[in-house]
Amino acid sequence: GQQLNQSPQSMFIQEGEDVSMNCTSSSIFNTWLWYKQDPGEGPVLLIALYKAGELTSNGRLTAQFGITRKDSFLNISASIPSDVGIYFCAGQLGGGTSYGKLTFGQGTILTVHP
Amino acid sequence: DADVTQTPRNRITKTGKRIMLECSQTKGHDRMYWYRQDPGLGLRLIYYSFDVKDINKGEISDGYSVSRQAQAKFSLSLESAIPNQTALYFCATSDPRRGYTFGSGTRLTVV
């Protein structure tokens, strides 16, 4: 089956720094999603990307759908303590939607020091 | 009340025991899923159901079974629990307009 490789596995940064993480796949996805998981909770959608090359922002978050459809990155600018959590990328084969089966990356654990 | 409710939130069980994890949703979504989360592995799909009469295996269905009792209810069973089934389990629903909604998870420990 499809596999997503997400990196880095963990990051320890100072408040105010920018963060970048990415996912690569051995096969093509038609939709890329980025989720955040807080302790004791399920993942919550941050950004959805539906077209190759698409660049989308949500506040301090920016994500891009790679032109080859095999990769995506997420940037967080000016990090704050509440950015702490686990970030997951997820890919979906179904085009133009975000509601079918998802394949998840391994997650990036983000720690922000005040 | 939460849109997707999982019970129990935490469970410790012994090897060989049968256990059921329950999920109910108030979102009216047709599609429901069970995922398992392990450290360093992300979330992996166990089973999914696109409507009440539709049940499909995911990538790691061995050792698990599911029941879709109604549109709002999707339960996951471990017929004979083993220690490597110790994990965090998530139920989720989805619809075309709003994507996924995850429950808060069930932390299962098999001793």
pLDDT tens, position by position, B41-80 = 889 999 999 999 999 999 999 999 999 999 999 999 999 9
Phi-psi region of A14 (alpha: psi -120 to 50; beta: other; left: phi over 0): beta
Q: Look at B111 and A97; give whichever has higher pLDDT.
A: B111
pLDDT of res. A40? 86
The verdict on A101 touching B (C-beta cutoff 8 Å) is: yes
In the predicted structure, residue B95 carries a pLDDT above the cut 90: no
pLDDT tens, position by position, A37-92 = 998 899 999 999 999 999 999 999 999 999 999 999 999 999 999 999 999 999 98
Residues 6+ apart with CB under 8 A from B9: B104, B105, B106, B107
The verdict on B84 touching A (C-beta cutoff 8 Å) is: no
Q: Look at B31 and A96; give whichever has higher pLDDT.
A: B31
Distance CA B111, CA B16 (A): 10
For residues B51 and B30, the answer to whether their CB atoms sit within 8 Å is yes
Q: Mutation target for B interface from A102, A103, A106, A108: give the one with most B CBs within 10 A.
A: A102
The verdict on A67 touching B (C-beta cutoff 8 Å) is: no
